[in-house]
Structure 1
Amino acid sequence: MTKKYLLVLWVGLFHNAYTQQNNLVISDSLSAKNYEYFSNNIRYEEKDSIKERLYAQSWLAKAKREKNFCQMTQSYKALIYSSDNKLQLKYADSMLTAAKSTADIELIGSAYMTKGIVQYDRKEHMNALDSYLIADEYISKTNNHYLIYKVKYVIAQVKYYLGFYDEATALFQECVNYFKGKNDRAYLNSLHSLGLCYNRIGKYKLCSQINQTGISEGLRFKNLEMQSYFIHSEGVNQYFQHNYTDAIKKLKKVLPIVIDNKDFINETTAYFYIGKSFWDQKLQEKALPYLKKIDEAFQKQKYIRPHLREAYEILIDYYQQQSDKALELYYVKCLLEVDQVLLKDYKYLSGKIHKEYDTKKLLQRQRNIEQYWTVIICIIITVMTAIIALLAHRHNKNKKLFQELMNRKPETSKLFVANGSKELDINHELVAAILKKLEKFEYSKKYLEKEMNLLKLASLLNTNTKYAYKIIAKYRHKGTIEYITDLKIDHIIELLKSENKYRIYKNKSLADEAGFGSTQNFTRAFKTRTGISPSYFCTELNKSLTADILK
């Protein structure tokens, strides 16, 4: 009854606050306050604070009455931080609308950054990155260097989250260099994030150096808030250097602090690497309780990261070896659920996630436990049939692709009429001018330059990357990288058809001729464009020409 009563009370309070927010009913005492009063009394320390939300609503009401868009922007930002998650994105959009009405590029950029933070908290990571990049476009035009590097930092955080560790490392290094001597906490945060990146890209010595620097600098600043996180980072780093005893010692040392901070993300990470450290020392019984905590966290929070997925694989194998079908099946089902979450939250990263147990194997294992030999036989028959069919058709398919390639006529470059400029929201004359330069780019074979990319192409077209990207997509019906790559491959195909000397070239020489950065990229691009490898094409081409001579 007590819980039910508290729930009803909370709903009533929320409804009252929401009604005030919509009708902006405020007391006379607050309506007379100035903007500075509201700004000083909202400290952004307590999430979903009714008191601070009331101040924010009063601030917004005053700004609306006076049509002060700058203050409206600030008050909406206050509402974001003082409201629950359901309303935050709505307030972020309203804040952005108000900011745009000011025409203040710094304020607009800051609003986009705040919206990105909201999206990041909602796990909309690609949307957050888009907002951060737009924020960067605005803020980079200002002289506010603190904001400029704050944007760099949040962009780096998203890139780290998505697994783009090299790009994140470069950005965090810039932030470290800037914040050093200017903002102690931002400097320590940047150092910590840089250390995490070094660990992810395998630079373990650099990670240790960064962690030691962070601890020393924190002591020098008399700021110990980040000390436990540097020790946590070093504990993980020691695991990767196979110093398992030290890894366990460090992670256990900071675990109570992390738990006290209610930081379940780093808490779960600590459990995982303590468990892994015991496991790699063949201390399975000590490892199991820690590895099981990964599933406990997932069941409570639905939190998982790609590298934590391995805990389930270990548990499945362990219970299979123990012939414990019940627990094996439990963790198989859990891992299937985990993969669904990962596919949703990491869809841009899913191709890079190493998975020893892919979904088909997990489903198969589940069926094996439940149905045994019937399912195994069906799968064997299916696989064997697929292999036989593949062997039977591969030769004919490659032959057909070769003939299609031989009959394919070179694509002729033509200047499209820029009648879609309205759809692109670009000036008609500008579109026509860019298309003309694009035709010249194709005719002069500038695409053969190494490392040709959107930025270089935009420079050659004398426009920005946004316009170049849109126009290529509209009039060449391709993404920029695909467009450039296809031009390179088509050039090589015509060379191989028309000039004998190129047919004896190795793939590396052909890659150099087409301006590819590596042989691997060239062969992959050739296969994508034609369906066959360059080696196969040259072999069949020589056979075809020899047969023609003998006729």
Structure 2
Amino acid sequence: MFNNLAAAQNNNIDALYEFKYSQLKNKFYDYYDHNQFPQSEQIAKYYLQKAKKEKNALEIAEGYNLIHFNKDFPVALKYIDSIAAITKDIKGSLYPARTYLIKGNLYYKNDNLKAALDSYILGLKYAKERNDKRQVAYADINIAYINSYIGKNAEAAKIFRHYLYNRKDITDDYQHNQMRIALISCYLDINKLDSANILIREGQVSAITSKNTYDISLYSFLSAKYDLKLRKYKTTVTKLSKVYDDIIRINPNNANIALYNLGKAYYGLKNKEKVVETYTKLDSNLQKTDITFPELREIYTYLIDYYKEKNDKEKQLYYIDRFLKTDKKLDEQFQYLLTELPKKYDTPNLLQEKENIIDELKKRKLLSYLTIGIMTLLLLTLLLLYYKSRKLVRKNEKIAQNLIHSVEERNKIQTKAEAKEIFIEKPLQQEEKTIKNIPEEVVQTILKELEYFEKHQRFLKKGITLSSLAQSINTNTAYLSEVINSHKEKSFTTYLNDLRIDYALKRLVEDKLFRAYKLAIIADELGYNNAQAFTAAFKKNTQTTLSAYIKEIQKQQSSKEI
């Protein structure tokens, strides 16, 4: 039988050869969390053996960590000391902060909260020095558990809530679930019952989905505590009685808390015998672990008073002795924690918060200066743009005024000529110009046709091209283009646009109704295909905008009317 067992163990070890460190660690916690301690211990031993064989200092330290879980306090502490020894020369952010946090957890597990707090504070110190946000978070969370233990549940809830809703790759799924459980307990103790109930339901759904029987029992236990707060004593008794056996197999400390709440439910039902029976069972459990919690004073006081009424001196004396022993331990821990927590944790945190606020104010001040600078620059830019805009407006106004004045002068000359019945004929030629390859009589004919074209405003016809105009005056495009280039000193397109814009300038001054037309209609009247083509031609020809020209006309005519 012994040989077969040894062979089976060797086979299991051989089977582990294929796994990486991360896989081995996952298997370890899977066994450990399900109370399969022999299997988890075997994994831990192989992990350490593998790391030592490979001379991997970090993994050797992790092997010591895994092994310490299954050892009693003195041996576990030696393994943690081994972690400190193997990592003392390792550079990085993980150690020694992690060593102190692991040691703090061991002290906490064994109800030495004074030593646990000191270890957590040291872990927090080194984590902050190395800017290791994850280790800082773990230290804060563990110290929050101590705050909850001494009744500072509101302060603890802030930490648990922060890391529950701001995981940021700090907590894994298991730790996330622990934050939720811890926050529920705090909410129940500070009577935030609605918030607690929401989280209980959320946890129950998660536990059922993952088929985690222990979590299902644990959330039923929290649900029972919630019912107790609502004074639903019978429901509380039913739930706690149902889940107690599952809880005690995994976590005796939680089982003791469950017994305490069960006793309170019986007290609510005025069933003294059941209260005594429950509290007696709780005391029996405590003697196996010697793990205390603050509510024990209440339990032993109840039992002392009960047996005093029964005149049972022996049991009365026994529970007085238990009370004094427990009270001394609680008093020592409470006195130390209440003194040292503010000194070593709360005050440094407040000072750090003060520094953070000062830095934030400096940043805000710098930001305000930067904002003022940007706003000033923006204002100066806007002022510059406004100045340029005003300058452009004044330039457009000046050009428009000159154009209007030019139109009015031409009108005066035309009016005087008509009054004297003088026909002012524009000379066909300002100077003698000859065009090679075009007979002079042809040139003169084209010029007369162009004069007729201008006088009768044929240029307003839409769709005029060089080809269509040449055809209408019985010549060819080459001759017409050459005559316009030579005698008008411009291209056909420019010649046509100049005629139309000159007409527009004159008519806009004279015809109020024409000015009131929509831009598209004005463009159509002038022979343009669309408003964009007209406004572009107007701007190119006059160096001002159509709107500025019309605005100046209206301004001048309004002033004349006044």
| TM-score (norm: length of structure 1) | 0.52
Give the partner amino acid of 2:229.
Answer: F
Map of 1:209 onto structure 2? 198
TM-score w.r.t. structure 2 length?
0.51
Equivalent residues in 2 for 1:349-498, closer than 5 Å = 454-455=351-352
Contact 1:47/1:81, CA 8 A, preserved across alignment: no
Q: Which amino acid aligns with 2:300?
A: Y
Do 1:195 and 1:210's aligned partners in 2 also have CA atoms closer than 8 Å?
yes
**Paired AA for residue 250 in structure 1:** K
Select the structure with the greater relative contact order (CA < 8 A; seq sep ≥ 6): 2
Residue 194 of structure 1 is matched in structure 2 by: 183
Measure how far apart 1:192 and its partner are. Answer: 0.9
Of 279, 285, 293, the match for 2:281: 293
- What do residues 266-300 of structure 1 show as CA deviations (whole Å, max 9, x unaligned)? 22222222222222332222322112222222333
Unaligned runs of 5+ in 1: 1-26, 352-450, 463-551
- Report the Cα distance in structure 1 between the residues aligned to 2:187 and 2:213, rounded to whole angstroms: 22
The Cα shift of 1:36 comes to 7.1
Confirm or deny that 1:256 pairs with 2:230.
Answer: no
Inter-partner Cα distance in structure 2 for 1:267 and 1:103: 42
| 1:331-342 correspondence to structure 2 within 5 Å | 331-342=319-330
Question: What's the counterpart of residue 237 of structure 1?
Answer: 226
Deviations 1:98-131 (A, max 9, x none): 3231111134333332222223223332332333
Q: Cα RMSD over matched residues? A: 4.0
Shift of 1:245: 1.9
- Counterparts of 2:44 and 2:207 in 1: how far apart (Å)? 34
Matches of 1:54 and 1:244, distance apart in 2: 47
**Alignment correspondent of 1:488:** none
> Judging changes above 3 Å, is the alpha-carbon distance between structure 1 residues 210 and 295 closer, same or farther for their aligned structure 2 residues?
same
Asked whether 1:127 is paired with 2:115, we answer yes
DSSP 3-state at the match of 2:231: coil
Distance 2:358 2:201 in 1: 48
- Structure 2 counterpart of 1:205, which letter? D
Aligned match of 1:160 in 148, 151, 160?
A: 148
Aligned residue identity for 2:295: H
Letter in 2 for 1:204: L
Does 2:62 align with 1:74?
yes
Distance 2:67 2:349 in 1: 46
Q: 1:313 to 1:153 in 2, by over 3 A?
A: same
Partner amino acid, structure 1, of 2:270 = K
How many Å separate the matches in 1 of 2:23 and 2:63? Answer: 12
When Rg is computed on C-alpha atoms for both structures, the one with the higher figure is: 2
| Aligned-partner Cα distance in 2 for 1:100–1:452 | 27
Task: Find 1:58's aligned residue among 45, 49, 56.
Answer: 49
Alignment of 1:308-347 (within 5 A): 308-347=296-335
* Cα deviation 1:496-540 (Å, max 9, x = unaligned): xxxxxxxxxxxxxxxxxxxxxxxxxxxxxxxxxxxxxxxxxxxxx
Note if contact 1:238-1:246 (Cα within 8 Å) is conserved in structure 2.
yes
Q: What do the CA deviations read for 1:153-178 (whole angstroms, capped 9, x no partner)?
A: 33322332333322211111012113
Q: Displacement of 1:194 after TM fit? A: 0.2
Provide the rounded CA distance (Å) in 1 between the counterparts of 2:308 and 2:148: 35
Aligned pair partner of 2:260 in 272, 277, 297: 272
CA contact (8 A) 2:217 2:243 kept: yes
Q: Distance in 2 between matches of 1:109 and 1:296?
A: 37
2:476 is matched with none
Are the equivalent residues in 1 in contact too, given 2:259–2:282 (CA < 8 A)? yes
In structure 2, relative to structure 1, the CA distance for the partners of 1:249 and 1:82 (3 Å cut) is closer
Identity %: 24
| Contact kept? 1:38, 1:55, Cα under 8 Å | no
**2:24/2:47 contact within 8 Å kept:** no
Q: Which amino acid aligns with 1:279?
A: Y
Task: Return closer, same or farther for 1:140/1:452 CA change in 2, 3 Å cut-off.
Answer: closer
Distance in 1 (alpha carbons) for counterparts of 2:267 and 2:137: 41
